A and B are shown apart, each in its own frame.
Chain A
């Protein structure tokens, strides 16, 4: 793994987010919508808590993260620029990692921009920082999983819209398996499967971290799925060379 090659791809990819208006539209929407939601929750409950806000975050990510990843590979393939990228002295795994990290950096910037909410809370009282920091950390980990999934899906299609819809659908599976209704139904049939479902869902792990409890098993869950999807991504790009 040549880190310079990774950083070259990373820089160009991150730059390309900010070269297009999409980045700014995305950032504004991503910051504005949660802020407005937070105000609604505050109006309803008069509580300086971000719990409801973070409860919605997986669903916000469900649509926002695939919007970040949909173009990563599909656009390269559609435009043909992948032909220059992969004939540079850059390995496929370096390109995959560079692109993933660029998308990750962009998402992290967006997540950090929403930090205005907890900061503004300090003007009204003393928020409980433990769960807030934990939830932000959890959000970044969960975002990584959705990003790696989306980047992989993007390498399977030359059409961004197809990549977006497929990514949303598959990401939804990662949420759905943690729904109470789903778990109850499955438990009735096969209790073991319910445990598997519950383990697979981001809701379970995000919930743990958002409570302020950072357990290594939750971190391992996220990191291993990220690595799995990155491997699949490398495989998908690499196998195309043989298929022609």
Chain B
């Protein structure tokens, strides 16, 4: 659906994109991560034909962005980062303008507008001036204009920035919904958003791709181990520790001390992905001990992100924390 090959973009002497390559297939919801200034927005501007790269080839929906720019633009819906809408128009007039400009046939325009108005919850605001909208409604109108022509590809630059938590949940749900049928690329620096909505994550830093994988896989990559905190009573601390150490799944175990209520607190390290909780629970039952707390922590996407974007010269594959 989208193919980016060795794309470089310079702004004067600043290199914004440094030979970036990736592909997106149909129906993927792709999260685009990276610190500010990493090149996310630049990439999106190139994909939507707003700017032209210095080198490399980009094709969207099978069309080259330079040779067949109009064909690309017809198939893409785009929400720029700052949501730059015409403030002097009324919401309904703005949608009519975009529908016309997006070549929605006259007889289908009303239905197309009705669809995005209900999808984005713009109903109460149709008569309002665009310039008077709250941030949340502005964002919704921005999404509505990007979807009015029912594009195959949606490109959203920080679609949830500046929204309140309930609005963020709504917009994410909308993106997931849209993502069932369409290809969606959205940039963000809210990492939970990626795990909440994406099937795949690209992380870029200083104009280069540093990771490209599913959110779960990235998390696994970042941490080969998982750490569990467990509180057990029914035997002496050392005895418990030895029993835990004896388990094949446990790589190491450390007695942290006595917790409240006579429990011993221990920290257990195991390989990533092992069902350590199940194993510990079985052991406790066999021995007739009592289990109070069992908590397993995995590396978060934040850890992955920080590792990939702060480290020097890390490649795409073997990043570890």
Cβ 8 A contact of A84, one of B9, B11, B145? B145
Q: Are A79 and B84 in contact (CB under 8 A)?
A: yes
| Interface flags, B293-313, vs A, CB<8A=1, else 0 | 000000000000000000000
- Partner-A contacts on B (CB < 8 A): 9-11, 16, 42, 45, 48-52, 70, 73-74, 76, 78, 80, 82, 84-89, 93, 97-98, 100-103, 145
Q: Which residues of B contact A9 (CB under 8 A)?
A: 101
Q: A87 within 8 Å of B by Cβ?
A: yes
Q: Are B89 and A15 in contact (CB under 8 A)?
A: yes
Q: Which residues of A contact B85 (CB under 8 A)?
A: 81, 84
Q: A51 within 8 Å of B by Cβ?
A: no
Residue of B86, B89, B98 with most partner-chain A CB within 10 A: B86
Cβ 8 A contact of A12, one of B16, B74, B87, B89? B89
Q: Are A89 and B102 in contact (CB under 8 A)?
A: yes
CB distance from B66 to the nearest CB of A (A): 10
| Interface flags, A1-42, vs B, CB<8A=1, else 0 | 000110011011001100110000000000000000000000
Q: Can you list 8 A-B pairs with a CB-CB distance of less than 8 A? A: A8-B97, A12-B86, A16-B88, A84-B98, A87-B73, A87-B80, A89-B101, A244-B9
Q: Are A244 and B11 in contact (CB under 8 A)?
A: yes
Q: Which residues of B contact A16 (CB under 8 A)?
A: 86, 88-89
Complex CA gap A241/B11 in Å reads 11
Q: Which residues of A contact B76 (CB under 8 A)?
A: 87
Q: A215 within 8 Å of B by Cβ?
A: no
Q: Are A80 and B82 in contact (CB under 8 A)?
A: yes
Chain B: CB-nearest residue to A20: B88
Q: Are B102 and A12 in contact (CB under 8 A)?
A: no
Q: Are B84 and A83 in contact (CB under 8 A)?
A: yes
Complex CA gap A9/B86 in Å reads 12
Interface size class of A (residues with CB under 8 A): 20 to 34
Q: Which residues of B contact A241 (CB under 8 A)?
A: 50-52
- Closest 5 pairs (CB-CB, A-B): A80-B84, A81-B84, A19-B88, A87-B48, A88-B101
Cβ 8 A contact of A81, one of B11, B48, B51, B86? B86
Chain A: CB-nearest residue to B103: A89
CB distance from A124 to the nearest CB of B (A): 42
Q: Are B50 and A19 in contact (CB under 8 A)?
A: no
CB distance from A71 to the nearest CB of B (A): 10
Interface residues of A in 89-104 (CB under 8 A from B): 89-91
Complex CA gap A15/B100 in Å reads 15
Q: Which residues of A contact B73 (CB under 8 A)?
A: 87-89
Q: Which residues of A contact B11 (CB under 8 A)?
A: 244
Complex CA gap A16/B90 in Å reads 10
Q: A173 within 8 Å of B by Cβ?
A: no
Q: A190 within 8 Å of B by Cβ?
A: no
Q: Which residues of A contact B84 (CB under 8 A)?
A: 79-84
Complex CA gap A83/B157 in Å reads 12
| Interface flags, A44-86, vs B, CB<8A=1, else 0 | 0000000000000000000000000000000000011111101
Q: Which residues of A contact B48 (CB under 8 A)?
A: 87
Chain A: CB-nearest residue to B9: A244
Q: Are A87 and B145 in contact (CB under 8 A)?
A: no
Q: Are A86 and B88 in contact (CB under 8 A)?
A: no
Q: A192 within 8 Å of B by Cβ?
A: no
Complex CA gap A242/B98 in Å reads 25
Q: Which residues of B contact A20 (CB under 8 A)?
A: 88
Q: Are A91 and B70 in contact (CB under 8 A)?
A: yes
Cβ 8 A contact of A83, one of B50, B74, B102? B50
CB distance from B64 to the nearest CB of A (A): 15
CB distance from B44 to the nearest CB of A (A): 10
Give 20 A-B pairs besides A81-B85, A87-B76, A244-B11 with Cβ atoms closer than 8 angstroms.
A8-B100, A16-B89, A19-B88, A80-B80, A81-B86, A83-B80, A83-B84, A84-B78, A84-B80, A84-B84, A84-B85, A87-B73, A88-B101, A89-B70, A89-B102, A89-B103, A91-B70, A241-B50, A244-B9, A244-B51
